[in-house]
Amino acid sequence: MSNKTCTKCHVSKPEDEFALNKKGKLGREAACRSCKSDNDRERRSDPDIRAQQNEYSRQYQLAHPQEYRRTTRNAFHRKRVRDAGGFVDETLDVFAVFEEDNYICQICGEDIDPFLRNKHPRMVSLDHIIPVSQGGSHTRDNVQTAHLGCNVRKFHSLSRSYS
């Protein structure tokens, strides 16, 4: 294994001390892991940089509301399952599941209005067939489209789906 010199501390270190980066020289980051970690910590604690990042995020959210909603909803479900110790399919897209199920509740069999929001009982929600609390995974074969009200009534049970 060859050595690489860190651009921050200027110390020659083994390549495996540099994080992978497809765009970086030799497929690695320019700074070693410890220097990168220190730099990231400083950036997070700087109020001016945090304000810039928050403003950028707000502008992006305003300019791309659908993409922002899709990204945050997918991240929410993945984190929830990961925190419960379940398996997560990183490629699973919640909205793709809704579209594949044609916005039909797989519990009661009725149509779902995709435009309802704010915890409306008839709004669309993602149901885990085997609940996450009982070891269910976040994979396509364990999720289905449901009305929020149907999903809440199902709670932690293993009820049959409509289809």
Burial class (CB in 10 A: 0-12, 13-18, 19+), 149: middle
pTM greater than 0.75 (yes/no): no
Q: What is the CATH number of domain 48-154?
A: 1.10.30
DSSP 55-123: HHHHHHHHH-HHHHHHHHHHHHHHHHHHHTT--B-TT--HHHHHHHTTTB-TTT--B--TT--TT-TTS
Mean pLDDT (the chain, rounded):
89
pLDDT-derived band at 163 (thresholds 50, 70, 90) equals: very low
pLDDT-derived band at 160 (thresholds 50, 70, 90) equals: low
> Rounded to an integer, what distance in angstroms lies between the CA atom of residue 143 and that of residue 137?
8
pLDDT-derived band at 154 (thresholds 50, 70, 90) equals: confident
What residue ranges do the domains of the chain occupy? 3-44, 48-154
**Tens digit of each residue's pLDDT (9 = 90 or more) over 6-27:** 999 999 999 889 988 888 767 8
**Tens digit of each residue's pLDDT (9 = 90 or more) over 88-122:** 999 999 999 999 999 999 999 999 999 988 889 99
